[in-house]
A and B are shown apart, each in its own frame.
Chain A
Amino acid sequence: DTEVTQTPKHLVMGMTNKKSLKCEQHMGHRAMYWYKQKAKKPPELMFVYSYEKLSINESVPSRFSPECPNSSLLNLHLHALQPEDSALYLCASSLSRTEPYGYTFGSGTRLTVV
Chain B
Amino acid sequence: KQEVTQIPAALSVPEGENLVLNCSFTDSAIYNLQWFRQDPGKGLTSLLLIQSSQREQTSGRLNASLDKSSGRSTLYIAASQPGDSATYLCAVYTGTASKLTFGTGTRLQVTL
Which residues does chain A contribute within 8 Å of B44, judged by CB atoms? 43, 90, 92, 105
Bound-state Cα–Cα, A108 to B45, Å: 11
Partner of B43, one of A40, A90, A97, A98: A90
A107 engages B93 (CB within 8 Å): no
| B76 within 8 Å of A (CB atoms) | no
**Number of A residues with CB within 8 Å of any CB on chain B:** 23
| Segment among B14-22, B67-75, B77-85, B95-103 that sits at the interface with chain A | B95-103
Q: Which A residues fall within an 8 A CB radius of B?
A: 6, 40, 42-43, 45, 48, 56, 88, 90, 92, 97-108, 110
Known interface pairs A48-B99, A90-B43; 15 further A-B residue pairs with C-beta atoms within 8 A, sorted by A's residue number: A6-B43, A43-B44, A56-B98, A90-B44, A97-B98, A98-B98, A100-B100, A103-B91, A105-B43, A105-B44, A105-B46, A106-B43, A107-B43, A108-B43, A110-B41
A-B contacts at CB below 8 angstroms, number = 50
B42 engages A107 (CB within 8 Å): yes
B99 engages A56 (CB within 8 Å): yes
B99 engages A102 (CB within 8 Å): no
**Number of B residues with CB within 8 Å of any CB on chain A:** 22
What are 21 A-to-B residue pairs whose CB atoms are below 8 Å? A6-B43, A40-B105, A43-B102, A48-B98, A48-B99, A56-B98, A92-B44, A98-B95, A99-B31, A100-B31, A100-B32, A101-B49, A102-B32, A102-B46, A102-B49, A106-B43, A107-B42, A107-B43, A108-B41, A108-B42, A108-B43
B100 engages A103 (CB within 8 Å): yes
Write the nearest CB–CB distance from B13 to chain A, whole angstroms: 20
Which residues does chain A contribute within 8 Å of B41, judged by CB atoms? 88, 108, 110
